[in-house]
């Protein structure tokens, strides 16, 4: 950088970043980023997935090394070479993907990040005291593997606060919380600000940024595209800054005659014992999805969504064949292929390694999932693959879903997350399935692609299919569902019609406030 | 009475090398590294220990040499798997093959030579007390080291901060790295400790158990030690129990064979393995506890992204 180095290192700035750049191979994840964080402010870092937010904060916390650029802490130039150095300066971090150890207790987890020699019992007592003073109750002796995601985040926050940092970095903290838990978090953040601490708040949820942040820096494709005061912006104007263009709103035509439409997916008394000690058991789940409707399943991560999807998709078979019925026939004893042949389609949560084989081409991935259902089209007599037919089908999907790629038929791993997700969803939609089950349809997908996927799911339903969407993103579920059910601790509530559903009602169910049949639990045992 | 004492003594002698090698490997695996080269490190310790003892005439120097040779040999594994991130299973297997071959080559001139033996503990007046004297105060020094080592490792893993850090690395090296823990450094030290233990176990074979050099004299004990760690669900006191059950059934079946009990000798020879596995499986029935003690990142190479 040959630019002029101005001398105005304002002492009111706790952290100042100049021209920070990080290059991975041919991708410039962060391109000359400038960022100032003042003392006692909540500063938002906004951007879509893949905009470079996580890369930037990893450099600030010392877990990644910048290729070039300068960092000033309290006006003095510093090199943050490791998380240890960051902690010594007074930077604390609450990670997006939790950095906790499941097999250890909360206190042990906290002790690991504090470098003083005090015994675990002292640390446990300190953690307990601090957690109560912030209204984030925590049992230091509990095993992390047993805790809910919200409770785990509490540990992360308490662990961070015990280091008495001046700057706290929170990476997408509310993506795993119920609305009520998020409110509690905002109270804590406001209290920290009043104590003079600075907070760098990373999010793509615009409403909460508008609510609690004093200033915002917006990233797009690794570059800073603007600074603003989020309180003076609208959610739409912030979205425009993040995305760079208008985002098309999803249109959901009202569903008609659903009550009399045939039930295409029926789940009756589905239960499942936990396969591992930290897994969630499923408890007597009942759900009907009729032709023409989209049902959403909300819930905080780790409440049985994964187990439920595995059971319904046939990755795990049921003892009672009648517990999963597809188009009026028992399917509980059938494998994934068996259920696909009945007209169902599945999109799992994990794209690479589950939804697609990373090192195989898109056309090969298409064949892998549809060799049985499209046997006649894709496989000739004698078991030879009709490469031409598979290739042209793959191109048809790529075109329909607007998948952006660098080669005509690239490896799955070469696509960005959002584009691969479009292909995987498109691969199933292309079959016009009668029953479509999707787990986290737009996780980590940019706003434009997400809108495209959601619109396609709604259109599939309106053309007479039954669509079931499991998601942690409440905004998404309210956008595309005709009714929302909530999964909590392996139990599924009755679906709330979208006209009656509010964030508050769904949030309470997500927190386990009303476990389905409240009246029964009131009876004296 | 004397026979009982003698049998108990031979059991301890049979169990000691297994215990030491397994305790070392337990620490390695608790840090998340799977070193399948225990057998190779053990046999290298045995040949190194014998050679140094034979050349200097001092069994103590021999024992020290066994530890150093084991540690150096494990360093090779550490450089490959930790610095170069090679596959741990393949590297560990080649370490065993290399150790078996190399020790045979080094030991050619030692074959048939009289070795030196570490003297048993002898405290005048106390070691000659009947039964207790011999069992508690009259065994070879490595026996005492093995018991002290087990206790020390238990204390280290579950009572010290460094032990907690080591366990956390075994649970999730990415989380540990994110906290600023030096994952690779800890793993190097753990692997070298494991190597030193395997070397010591080998030294016990060629300086106490049978004070001579025979090619391939570790005879699969490294593999048994590896199995003990898994079946003991990575808990030191269970490793101790497992090693002694194995030793006891091993000695028992030898006596049974000598008495000419009409059971196929092959079946008797397999008894120690069966018995040990059965007992350890029974005591690790608690799935939850086993899960908690299993190092979740075991065997996965760690490459920090920078």
Same domain, A208 and A303: no
Residue A248 lies in a domain: no
Conformation bin of residue B77: beta by default, left when phi > 0, alpha when psi is -120 to 50: alpha
Measured distance CA(A486)–CA(B185) in Å, rounded: 46
A97 pLDDT band, cuts 50/70/90, is: low
Q: DSSP per residue over B148-213, as a string? A: HHHHHHHHHHHHSHHHHHHHHHHH-HHHHHHTT--HHHHHHHHHHHHHHHHHHHHHHIIIIIS-S-
What the block records as the tokens of A40 is 């006692």
pLDDT digits 0-9 by tens, B118-129: 998 888 878 778
Same domain, A386 and A289: yes
B44 pLDDT band, cuts 50/70/90, is: very high
- A79 is in which domain, residue-wise? 13-243
The answer, yes or no, to whether residue A6 has pLDDT greater than 60, is no
Residue A252 lies in a domain: no
Q: Give the closest of A82, A112, A277 to B288, CB-based.
A: A277
Q: Is A317 exposed, middle or buried (0-12, 13-18, 19+ CB in 10 A)?
A: middle
Residue B298 lies in a domain: no
Average pLDDT over residues A337-365: 90
pLDDT at A2: 39
A523 pLDDT band, cuts 50/70/90, is: very low
Would you call A452 an interface residue with chain B, using a CB distance cutoff of 8 Å?
no
Q: DSSP per residue over A291-335, as a string? A: TT-EEEEE--TTSSHHHHHHHHHTSS--SSGGGEEETTEE-TT--
Residue B300 lies in a domain: no
Residue B96 lies in a domain: yes
Chain A residue numbers touching B291 (CB-CB < 8 A):
103, 145, 276-278
Last residue of some domain: A208, A243, A278?
A243
pLDDT digits 0-9 by tens, A247-306: 777 888 887 788 889 999 999 999 998 877 677 899 999 999 999 999 999 988 778 898
Same domain, A284 and A185: no
3-state secondary structure A63-97: CCCCCEEEEEECCEEECCCCHHHHHHHCEEEECCC
Q: DSSP per residue over B53-74, as a string? A: HHHHS-HHHHHHHHHHHHHHHH
pLDDT at A171: 84
What is the length of chain A? 525
Residue A5 lies in a domain: no
Q: Above pLDDT 90, what percent of chain A?
A: 46
pLDDT at B1: 60
Residue A455 lies in a domain: yes
* Element containing residue A434 per DSSP (H, E): none
- B117 is in which domain, residue-wise? 2-293
Domain count of the fold of chain B: 1
Distance (Å) of CA B298 to CA A87, A279, A349, B28, B303? 28, 20, 25, 10, 14
CATH classification of the domain holding B39: 1.10.3470
pLDDT at A522: 36
Would you call A82 an interface residue with chain B, using a CB distance cutoff of 8 Å?
yes
Same domain, A502 and A426: yes
pLDDT digits 0-9 by tens, B87-123: 999 999 999 999 999 999 999 999 989 889 999 888 8
Cβ–Cβ gap A143/B292 under 8 Å: yes
CATH classification of the domain holding A303: 3.40.50.300
pLDDT digits 0-9 by tens, A39-65: 999 999 988 777 888 889 989 998 888
Residue B306 lies in a domain: no
Residue B108 lies in a domain: yes
Same domain, A236 and A294: no
Chain B residue numbers touching A64 (CB-CB < 8 A):
305-306
Q: Give the closest of A82, A83, A111 to B164, CB-based.
A: A111
User: Which residue carries 């000798």 as its tokens?
Assistant: B265
Residue B52 lies in a domain: yes
In chain B, the residue whose alpha carbon lies closest to the alpha carbon of A84 is B180
Mutation for A interface: B168, B293, B304, most A CBs within 10 A: B168
Same domain, A210 and A271: no
What the block records as the tokens of A352 is 């690479």
Residue A155 lies in a domain: yes
Residue A296 lies in a domain: yes
Domain count of the fold of chain A: 2
What is the distance between the terminal CA atoms of chain B, rounded to a whole angstrom?
66
pLDDT digits 0-9 by tens, B268-305: 888 888 888 888 788 777 777 777 788 989 998 888 76
pLDDT digits 0-9 by tens, B220-237: 999 999 999 988 889 999
């Amino acid at each position: 950088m040959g630019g002029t180095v101005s001398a105005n290192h304002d002492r009111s700035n706790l952290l100042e970043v100049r021209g920070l750049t990080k290059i991975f191979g041919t991708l410039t994840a962060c391109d000359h980023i400038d960022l100032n964080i003042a003392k006692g402010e909540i500063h938002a870092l906004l951007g879509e997935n893949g905009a470079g937010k996580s890369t930037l904060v990893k450099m600030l916390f010392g877990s990644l090394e910048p290729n070039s650029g300068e960092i000033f802490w309290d006006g003095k130039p510093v090199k943050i070479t490791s998380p240890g150095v960051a902690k010594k300066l007074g930077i604390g971090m609450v990670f997006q993907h939790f950095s906790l150890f499941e097999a250890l207790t909360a206190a042990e987890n906290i002790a690991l990040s504090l470098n003083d020699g005090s015994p675990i019992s002292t640390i446990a007592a300190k953690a307990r005291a601090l957690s109560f003073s912030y209204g984030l109750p925590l049992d230091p002796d509990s095993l992390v593997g047993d805790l809910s995601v919200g409770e785990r985040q509490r540990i992360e926050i308490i662990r961070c606060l015990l280091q008495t940092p001046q700057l706290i970095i929170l990476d997408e903290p509310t993506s795993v919380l119920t609305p009520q838990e998020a409110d509690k978090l905002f109270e804590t953040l406001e209290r920290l600000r009043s104590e003079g601490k600075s907070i760098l708040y990373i999010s793509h949820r615009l409403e909460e940024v508008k609510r609690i942040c004093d200033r915002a820096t917006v990233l797009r494709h690794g570059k800073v595209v603007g600074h603003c005061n989020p309180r003076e912006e609208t959610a739409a104007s912030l979205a425009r800054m993040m995305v760079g263009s208008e985002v098309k709103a999803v249109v959901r035509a009202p569903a008609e005659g659903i009550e009399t439409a045939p039930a295409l997916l029926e789940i009756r008394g589905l239960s499942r014992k936990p396969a591992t000690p930290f897994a969630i058991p499923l408890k007597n789940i009942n759900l009907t999805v009729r032709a023409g409707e989209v049902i959403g399943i909300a819930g905080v991560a780790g409440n049985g969504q994964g187990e439920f999807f595995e059971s319904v998709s046939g990755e795990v078979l049921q003892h009672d064949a009648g517990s999963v019925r597809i188009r009026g026939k028992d399917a509980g004893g059938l494998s994934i292929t068996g259920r696909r042949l009945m007209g169902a389609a599945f999109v799992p949560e994990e794209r690479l390694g589950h939804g697609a084989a990373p090192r195989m081409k898109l056309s090969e991935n298409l064949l892998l999932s549809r060799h049985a259902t499209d046997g006649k089209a894709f496989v000739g007599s004698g078991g030879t693959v009709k490469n031409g037919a598979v290739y042209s089908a793959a191109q048809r999907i790529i075109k329909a879903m607007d998948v952006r790629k660098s080669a005509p038929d690239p490896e799955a791993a070469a696509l960005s997350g959002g584009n691969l997700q479009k292909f995987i969803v498109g691969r199933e939609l292309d079959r016009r399935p009668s029953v479509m089950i999707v787990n986290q349809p737009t996780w980590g997908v940019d706003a434009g692609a997400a809108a495209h996927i959601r619109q396609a799911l709604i259109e599939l339903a309106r053309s007479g299919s039954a669509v079931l969407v499991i998601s942690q993103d409440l905004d998404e579920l309210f956008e595309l569902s005709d009714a929302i059910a909530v999964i909590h601790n392996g139990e599924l509530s009755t679906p709330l019609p979208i006209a009656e559903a509010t964030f508050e009602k769904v949030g309470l169910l997500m927190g386990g406030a009303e476990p389905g049949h409240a009246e029964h639990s009131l009876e004296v045992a | 009475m004397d026979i009982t004492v003698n049998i108990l003594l031979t059991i301890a002698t049979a169990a000691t090398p297994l215990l030491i090698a397994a305790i070392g490997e337990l620490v390695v695996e608790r840090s998340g590294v799977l070193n399948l080269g225990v057998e190779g490190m053990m046999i290298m310790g045995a040949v190194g220990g014998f050679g140094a003892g034979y050349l200097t005439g001092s069994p103590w120097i021999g024992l020290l040499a066994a530890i150093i040779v084991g540690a150096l040999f494990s360093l090779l594994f550490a450089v490959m798997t930790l610095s170069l991130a090679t596959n741990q299973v393949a590297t560990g297997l080649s370490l065993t093959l290399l150790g078996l071959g190399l020790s045979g080559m080094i030991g050619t001139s030692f074959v048939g030579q009289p070795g030196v033996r570490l003297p048993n503990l002898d405290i005048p007046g106390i070691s000659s007390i009947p039964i207790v004297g011999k069992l508690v105060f009259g065994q070879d020094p490595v026996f005492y080291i093995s018991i002290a080592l087990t206790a020390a490792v238990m204390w280290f893993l579950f009572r010290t901060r460094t032990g907690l850090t080591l366990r956390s690395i075994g649970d999730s090296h990415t989380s540990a790295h994110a906290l600023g823990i030096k994952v690779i450094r800890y793993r190097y030290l753990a692997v070298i400790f494991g190597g030193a233990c395997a070397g010591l176990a080998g030294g016990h074979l060629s300086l106490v158990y049978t004070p001579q050099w025979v090619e391939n004299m570790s005879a699969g004990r490294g593999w048994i030690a590896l199995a003990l760690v898994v079946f003991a669900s990575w808990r030191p006191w269970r490793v101790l129990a497992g090693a002694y059950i194995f030793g006891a059934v091993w000695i028992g079946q030898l006596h049974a064979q000598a008495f000419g009990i009409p059971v196929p000798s092959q079946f008797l020879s397999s008894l120690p393995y069966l018995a040990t596995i059965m007992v350890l499986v029974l005591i690790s029935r608690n799935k939850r506890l086993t899960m908690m003690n299993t190092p979740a990142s075991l065997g996965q190479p760690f490459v920090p992204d920078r």
